[in-house]
Amino acid sequence: MTTTDIGFDALGLSPALARATRDLGYKAPTPIQAASIPPALEGRDVLGTAATGSGKTAAFLLPILQRLGSGRRGTTRALILAPTRELAAQIEEAAQGLIRHTGLRVASVFGGVGMRPQERAFREGTDVIVATPGRLLDHLQHPYADLSKLEVLVLDEADRMLDMGFLPDIRRVLRQLPQDRQTLLFSATMPAPILELSRDLLRQPVRVGVERPSTPASGITQTVYPVAEDLKTPLLVHLLKQDSIGSVIVFTRTKHRANRLAEKLAKAGVSAERIHGNRSQSARTEALAGFKSGKYRVLVATDIAARGIDVEALGHVVNFDVPNVPEDYVHRVGRTARAGLTGEALTFFSPAEEGDLRAIERTVGRKIDRVTVPDFDYRAKPAEQFEVPLKDRIAEIRARKAEDRARAAAKAERRAQNA
């Protein structure tokens, strides 16, 4: 990770927070931290252009925690909105690391898990709440969820919230917050609707933007692999046999493709798990923990679920499919080479994906090196089609439902006969 040569001490942080940064091994602030922390500590609004991996989480958490360190406890005074459960959980984890010497408390509120502990967090007036917009709105219908004393609001990964259609939810949340507050908005890119939102929300914000949003961090080697659609799995398995590749996140375009790929990798003897929006929170957490601990060598993910995954020292990212949106490419590739390490991003592309690849090359501003794997059989016939055709999937669901209905009817009949 790129850091600055000024120390954390120079930023005016309280001893408790400065100590926590030392505990976490942070030696110096990253550029986004050096730029955002001083104005945020003064109470200014901040509009930050920062991608994951830049240290943006601590850039907004440290000034918030400092502000909350003084003043009353027992009321929720800071709210952080994030697009996905993973990102919310990760922000909470980062906050837990930073608050350890302060006596402050933090909780996260997101879907897929029980409402009760979250309700308790509101009732207890937990100092900092990290939430996804949908679940927060569910709580806000109840009187116990009281945000009337809120002092700071953070919108993290605002562009992703826009992509996921959360802007109306965010506006609904905003109606329930005090107008007089400090607001920090962070986004990897600044599309027009986000700039518009920032104009509504922020008061004379300080603009900080250290990384160019459309370029992956330096230190990442990017290559692309032309390959027929149906040979993508054999090519991946082939590459995984090489010792130079360790743990790897593999991105697919859809949930179905993520499921199929994980299945096929398992069949080929590669330990793999998957993480996507259709899986339960506990399954996603288990997959991520298993990947981090080394139980699974491969984590197959879709873009949305992958937001917020923070895996240190990940050497390789594979785009099994070319992302449709260049920003997703930059974001996925940013999963590797964090914390100043070097990483490799490999992108498979079939003839049908050439257009999307060109759009990415335009965004990153150069042609990405093509690689042909010398000992891979590009003329092999794949054993079976990668995707189960949609009509077969629908037929399967219909057959399953018909079977369920028949079973229910038989049961009802038995019950009627016994009555």
Residues that bind ligand AMP (CB under 6 A): 1, 3, 26, 29-30, 33, 52-58, 310, 338-339
Q: Please identify, using beta-carbon distances, which residue of 1 and 268 lies nearer to ligand AMP.
A: 1
Nearest approach, Cβ of 373 to ligand AMP (angstroms)?
Answer: 32
Nearest approach, Cβ of 263 to ligand AMP (angstroms)?
Answer: 31
State the residue number with the nearest CB to ligand AMP: 57
Q: Please identify, using beta-carbon distances, which residue of 55 and 234 lies nearer to ligand AMP.
A: 55
3-state secondary structure of 48: strand
Spatial separation of the C-alpha atoms in residues 50 and 36, rounded to whole Å = 11
The sheet carrying 46-49 orders its strands as 106-109, 128-131, 78-81, 152-155, 182-187, 46-49, 206-209
Nearest approach, Cβ of 216 to ligand AMP (angstroms)?
Answer: 14
Q: How many CB atoms lie within 10 A of CB 396?
A: 11
Q: Please identify, using beta-carbon distances, which residue of 64 and 240 lies nearer to ligand AMP.
A: 64
Nearest approach, Cβ of 124 to ligand AMP (angstroms)?
Answer: 27
Q: Please identify, using beta-carbon distances, which residue of 211 and 344 lies nearer to ligand AMP.
A: 211
Q: Please identify, using beta-carbon distances, which residue of 21 and 118 lies nearer to ligand AMP.
A: 21
Q: What are phi and psi of 155, to 5 degrees?
A: -110, 115
Q: Which of 164, 161, 173 is nearest to 136 (CA)?
A: 173
Q: Please identify, using beta-carbon distances, which residue of 54 and 118 lies nearer to ligand AMP.
A: 54
Nearest approach, Cβ of 30 to ligand AMP (angstroms)?
Answer: 5
Q: What are phi and psi of 221, to 5 degrees?
A: -90, 125
Q: What are phi and psi of 111, to 5 degrees?
A: -75, 170
Q: Please identify, using beta-carbon distances, which residue of 56 and 274 lies nearer to ligand AMP.
A: 56
Spatial separation of the C-alpha atoms in residues 320 and 299, rounded to whole Å = 12
3-state secondary structure of 257: helix
- Residues contacting 120, CB < 8 A, separation 6+: none
Nearest approach, Cβ of 406 to ligand AMP (angstroms)?
Answer: 51
Nearest approach, Cβ of 329 to ligand AMP (angstroms)?
Answer: 18
Instruction: Name the percent of the chain in helix, strand, coil, to the closest 5.
Output: 45, 15, 40
